[in-house]
Amino acid sequence: MIQEMTAREMKPRKFIEEKIAEIRAAVGEGLAINALSGGVDSSTVTLLGHRALGRRLKTVFIENGLMRAGEAKRVAGLFRKLKVPVEIIDARAEFFAALKGITDPEEKREAITQTFYRGVFGRIVKASGARFLLQGTILTDVDETVAGIKRQHNVFAQLGIDPQEAFGYGIIEPLLRLRKDGVRKLAKALGLPEDTYRRIPFPGPALAARVIGEATPERIETVRKATAVVEQHLAGTRAFQYLAILHADRVTGMRGGKRDFGQQIEVRCWDSVDARVAAPTRIPFAALQALAGEIIKKVPGVVSVTYNIAPKPPSTIEAV
Ligand code: XMP
C-alpha cells in the first residue's frame, strides 16, 4: 500500500529536498534516463531529476505518433528555455506496427507498454549505459491499475512486475504518493510555467486512448485534429480535462446532397479535483453547437458530434 500525500500535506521545499536526495542515492554515480511527454507529471519529474543529477540525466521525448499536434517541438522548446536538453526519438513506425490490427482496449494499452518499456527505452538504456528510468507515475495511475479498471501504461511494481527483471533497468517514481493537485503545486514550486502546471492531464497511451477500435495513423490523425479544436474551444471552461474521442461505428450522414457514411466524434469535458470521480461540465448549449460546427468544418469525414453527460463512475475520463 502506498501512503497518499495530499496536496495540502505536501510541503514543496521539503519534498523537493527529500526527492533529490532519494534520486541521488538510488542512481549513485551512474546515469539515468527520463521520458518527458510534456504533461505536468513528466515535466515535474524532469526538473526534479535535473536538480538531482544534472548532466547525468538524459531526457528523451518519444515521438510515438500518438501525441497532440505540434507537441514534440513545443516540449523541446519549453525545456530548452529551462536549460534542459531534450532528445526527440522518432519511434512512430514502431508504435503503429505494434498497434496494427488491435481493437481491444487492454491489448492496445499492453502493446504501447511493451513498445515503450521493452522496445524503445530498452534500447536507449542499453545504448547509454543507464541503469534507471525516472518517471512520473502518480497514485491515481496505481489505484486504477490495481483495481483492474485500466492498465495504466506506467505501473509495474504494484502488479508484481519487477522492471529490472522484465526490462533490464530499475524505475524511480518520485511522485508516487501524490495526486494531480499535489503535482501541480510541486510543479509551480519547481518553476515550471503556468501553462504547464495548469495543463490538462493527458494519458500515457496518448491519443490511442481516445480512438475506439484500431489506432491507425489515419484514425489518430482524425482524433488529433478534433482534439486541437476541443482544446482550443474549451480552454475557457477551466475544466479539469476535455477531450475528443473517435468512435468505431460509422453513421449515415449527408454532404453536398449525397449520402456520407461518416465518422462520429464524442466530446468529453470533466469537472474533477484528482480524477478519482468526475462530473461532466455544464457547457452552455450555444458553446457546444459552436464546437460541433468547428469540428465538422476542421475534421474531414465527421458527420456526428456528441457530448458525454455521464459521470465517472460509471464512466471513466478516457474512453479506452
Ligand atoms: P480514467 O480514464 O481512468 O483516467 O478515468 C484518469 C486520469 O488518468 C489519465 N489516464 C492515464 N494516465 N496512463 C496515464 O499516465 C494511462 O494509461 C492513463 N489512462 C488515463 C486520464 O487522462 C485521466 O486524467
- Whether the Cβ atoms of residue 188 and residue 197 lie closer than 8 Å to each other: yes
- Is 90 exceeded by the pLDDT of residue 12? yes
Closest CA to 55 of 149, 128, 148: 128
Distance from the alpha carbon of residue 202 to the mean position of ligand 1, in angstroms: 7
Fold annotation for 211-307:
GMP Synthetase; Chain A, domain 3 (3.30.300)
Please state at what angle helix 217-234 crosses helix 285-298, rounded to 10 degrees: 150
Distance from the alpha carbon of residue 317 to the mean position of ligand 1, in angstroms: 7
Distance from the alpha carbon of residue 150 to the mean position of ligand 1, in angstroms: 8
Distance from the alpha carbon of residue 151 to the mean position of ligand 1, in angstroms: 9
- Is 90 exceeded by the pLDDT of residue 147? no
> CATH number of the domain at 12-197, please?
3.40.50.620
Partners of residue 281 on adjacent β-strands: none
pTM of the model: 0.93
Distance from the alpha carbon of residue 118 to the mean position of ligand 1, in angstroms: 21
Pocket residues for ligand 1 (CB within 6 Å)?
A: 140-141, 144, 150, 152-154, 201, 203-205, 209, 241, 275, 312, 316-318
Which runs of consecutive H residues, i.e. helices, occur in 151-216? 163-167, 180-189, 194-197
Q: What is the pLDDT of residues 284-309, one digit of tens each?
A: 999 999 999 999 999 999 999 999 99
Which of 45, 138, 141 has most ligand 1 atoms within 8 Å of its beta carbon, as the pocket-test mutant?
141
Confidence of residue 141 (pLDDT cuts 50, 70, 90): confident
Q: What is the pLDDT of residues 162-185, one digit of tens each?
A: 999 989 999 999 999 999 999 999
**Cell numbers for 286:** 450555444
Which atom, in ligand 1's list, is nearest to the CA of 138? 15
Domain ranges of the chain: 12-197, 211-307
The mean pLDDT value of the chain amounts to 95
